């Protein structure tokens, strides 16, 4: 199987400009070889991409400007500085992003056959871009209010172009995060049923599949979501259909992978042992993107002889395979086709780590106090915009928990701001693991955390990889959820088949954690 690019030519040039920007960015110095290799691959596959076209230069310029503005906007958001500069940066971002879209379109039309596109007023395009930016910045109610006139204006349109599709995908995102009814769900379904008749790019087609797949999973319509999984939950360079072994296959190889974060890999990894046992006469290669947790999977699957685990740094050594499939798609292939049939197994429960001298100081403090002890976590990776603007809790919201002097609170996070430190240091019943344990989780991610698991009452955390780890190790866990939580946690319910023992506590108002903290206090 070979890797290919399948998108409009404007997207190809856009990809090259971004890769070249990364080459000049010190943050990507360790990936320089891989970036150069990808650029050369594109040049070989698309010789026209090496031309010195003014449009290519213009696209490089606008992408460079967007890169700078994105960093400035991100800095303002993290500091909660919604001032004149923030407004100026945001307006310029919209303007330049629109220019980028036009340049990409011009490149595609210049180098491929011409297409007819329905004309949409520029003001409407800018309004929709404003909605999308507000959504990405976490201003969900503003996004919902702003999009309503557009939905009304195009409610009965016969246009079948990317703007109309984007309008309804954007509204779908808003309704999900606000946990409100999609009043235009019929139009959304019509778009997806007739997507081939819409004038949209291949890149945007993948985006629509991603959004609609999430909608169907949220509705627990797993079988209907399957065909969209094949497009979205896949490695982008694999263009052959997902499939499993055929009957009577022997010594064939299946390449499997997960799309998402560490938590997704942990959650979906429960299916791997069954897969290997079911097809014991064949081989499985599993790509895991997170070398930091490699020891966990190497430990759990060490006795599975027909499984080879490959990590990101070893991507070039994947070698040959006969079939490929995402982990989430495997559930259907192994006859877990519906929400009600989803299995749970605590396959990480047998990980055992010895307590060492570096843990003794903290453990003495915990055991001598004779208090209940909970691990508490309020955020995940801040580089994820959805995490920053939605799933993350402000630490000040948790102060009522810390005021419970009958409980010891253990902080596992390494990413703690100076303001957060000041809050934590006000309480003598809070223990920050990176301060208490030498080289905390540095050698093996989660290793010290797992040792501490043996000495705690439970875990209380927002939706992060820690939750998936704890639940898969049968640790009592309270999951603190936003109003519009992800599909795995269902909606408007207090249980999920993905983690039957999890205690789910969700917001009643978007971005408001008051009821969540109150419920936790009543439960513990």
Ordered by start, the domain boundaries in the chain are: 1-115, 253-341, 357-523
Q: Is the pLDDT of residue 346 over 90?
A: yes
Distance between CA atoms of residues 198 and 204, nearest Å: 11
Largest Cα separation within the chain, whole Å, is 76
User: Between the ranges 38-52, 284-298, 417-431, where is the mean pLDDT highest?
Assistant: 417-431
Per the CB < 8 A criterion, the answer to whether 177 and 390 are in contact is: yes
pLDDT digits (tens, 9 = 90+) for 435-483: 999 888 777 889 999 999 999 999 999 989 999 999 999 999 999 999 9
The pLDDT, as a whole number, for residue 390 is 65
- What is the residue-averaged pLDDT of the chain? 90
Residue 75 has pLDDT above 80, yes or no: yes
DSSP 8-state symbol, 461: E
The whole-number pLDDT of residue 13 equals 93
Residue 382's pLDDT band (boundaries 50, 70, 90)? low
pLDDT score recorded for residue 388: 56
pLDDT for the residue numbered 118: 46
Pick the range with the lowest mean pLDDT from 93-102, 233-242, 458-467.
233-242
Q: How far apart are CA 208 and CA 135, in angstroms?
A: 17
- Which of the two residues, 166 and 47, has the higher pLDDT score? 166
Percent of the chain with pLDDT over 70: 94
Pair of tokens at residue 139: 């201003």
Name, in order, each residue with C-beta under 8 angstroms of 328's C-beta and a sequence gap of 6 or more. Answer: 229, 233, 258, 259, 268
Mean pLDDT for the stretch of residues 103-111 = 81
Tell me the per-residue pLDDT of 108-164, one tens digit each, with 9 for 90 and over: 877 653 343 446 888 898 899 999 999 988 999 999 999 999 999 999 888 888 899
Which pLDDT band, with edges at 50, 70 and 90, does 1 fall under?
very low
Tell me which H or E stretch contains 523. Answer: helix 514-523
Residue 4 has pLDDT above 60, yes or no: no
What's the CATH number of domain 357-523, 3.40.50.150, 1.10.730.10, 3.20.20.140, 3.40.50.2000? 3.40.50.2000
φ, ψ dihedrals at 338, nearest 5°? -125, 165
Q: How far is CA 300 from CA 193, 295, 314, 400, 447, in A?
A: 42, 9, 20, 38, 14
Q: Which two tokens stand for residue 14?
A: 């856009």
Closest by CA to 366, choosing from 325, 409, 397, 311, is 409
pTM for the whole thing? 0.78
Q: Bridge-partner residues for 256, per DSSP?
A: 286, 325
Provide the b/e sequence for 372-386 (b: ≥16 CB within 10 Å).
ebbbbbbbbeeeeee
For residues 208 and 500, what is the distance between their CA atoms, to the nearest angstrom? Answer: 31
pLDDT-derived band of residue 387, with 50, 70 and 90 as boundaries?
low
């Amino acid at each position: 199987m070979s890797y290919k690019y399948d998108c409009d030519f404007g997207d190809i040039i856009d990809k090259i400009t971004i890769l070249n920007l990364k080459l000049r960015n010190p943050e990507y110095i360790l990936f320089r070889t891989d970036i150069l290799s990808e650029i050369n691959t594109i040049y070989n596959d698309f010789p026209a991409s090496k031309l010195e076209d003014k449009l290519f230069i213009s696209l490089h310029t606008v992408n460079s400007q967007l890169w700078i503005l994105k960093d400035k906007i991100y800095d303002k958001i993290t500091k909660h500085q919604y001032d004149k500069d923030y407004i100026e940066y945001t307006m310029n971002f919209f303007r330049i992003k629109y220019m980028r879209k036009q340049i990409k379109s011009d490149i595609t039309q210049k180098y491929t056959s011409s297409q007819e596109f329905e004309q949409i007023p520029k003001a409407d395009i800018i309004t929709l871009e404003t909605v999308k930016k507000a959504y990405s910045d976490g201003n969900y109610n503003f996004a919902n209010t702003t999009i309503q006139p557009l939905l009304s204006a195009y409610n009965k349109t016969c246009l079948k172009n990317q703007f109309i599709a984007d309008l309804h995908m954007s509204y779908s995102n808003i309704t999900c995060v606000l946990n409100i009814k999609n009043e235009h769900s019929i139009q959304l379904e019509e778009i997806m049923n007739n997507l081939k008749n819409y004038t949209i790019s291949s890149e945007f087609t993948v985006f629509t599949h991603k959004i609609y797949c999430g909608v169907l999973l949220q509705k627990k319509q797993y079988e209907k979501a399957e065909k969209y999984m094949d497009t979205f939950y896949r490695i982008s360079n694999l263009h052959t259909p997902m499939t499993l072994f055929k009957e009577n296959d022997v010594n064939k190889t299946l390449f499997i992978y997960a799309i998402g974060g560490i938590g997704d890999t942990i959650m979906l990894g429960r299916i791997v042992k069954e897969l290997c046992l079911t097809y014991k006469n064949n081989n499985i290669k599993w790509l895991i993107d997170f070398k930091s947790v490699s020891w966990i999977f190497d430990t759990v699957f060490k006795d599975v002889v027909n499984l080879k685990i490959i990590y990101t740094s070893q991507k070039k050594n994947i070698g040959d395979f006969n079939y490929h499939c995402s982990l989430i798609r495997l559930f259907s292939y192994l006859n877990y086709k519906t929400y009600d049939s989803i299995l749970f197994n605590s396959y990480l429960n047998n990980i055992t780590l010895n307590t060492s001298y570096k843990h003794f100081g903290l453990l003495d403090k915990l055991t001598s106090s004779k208090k209940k002890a909970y691990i508490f976590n309020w955020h995940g990776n801040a580089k994820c915009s959805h995490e920053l603007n939605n799933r993350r809790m402000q630490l000040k919201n948790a102060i009522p928990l810390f005021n419970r002097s009958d409980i010891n609170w253990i902080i596992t996070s390494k990413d703690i701001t100076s303001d957060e430190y000041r809050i934590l240091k006000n309480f003598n019943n809070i223990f920050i693991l990176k301060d208490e344990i030498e080289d905390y989780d540095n050698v093996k991610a989660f290793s010290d955390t797992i040792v501490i698991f043996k000495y705690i009452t439970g875990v209380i955390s927002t939706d992060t990889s820690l939750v998936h780890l704890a639940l898969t190790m049968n640790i009592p866990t309270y999951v603190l959820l936003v109003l519009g939580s992800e599909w795995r946690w269902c909606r408007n319910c207090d249980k999920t088949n993905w983690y039957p023992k999890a205690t789910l506590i969700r917001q009643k108002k978007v971005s408001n954690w008051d009821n969540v903290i109150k419920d936790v206090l009543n439960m513990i």
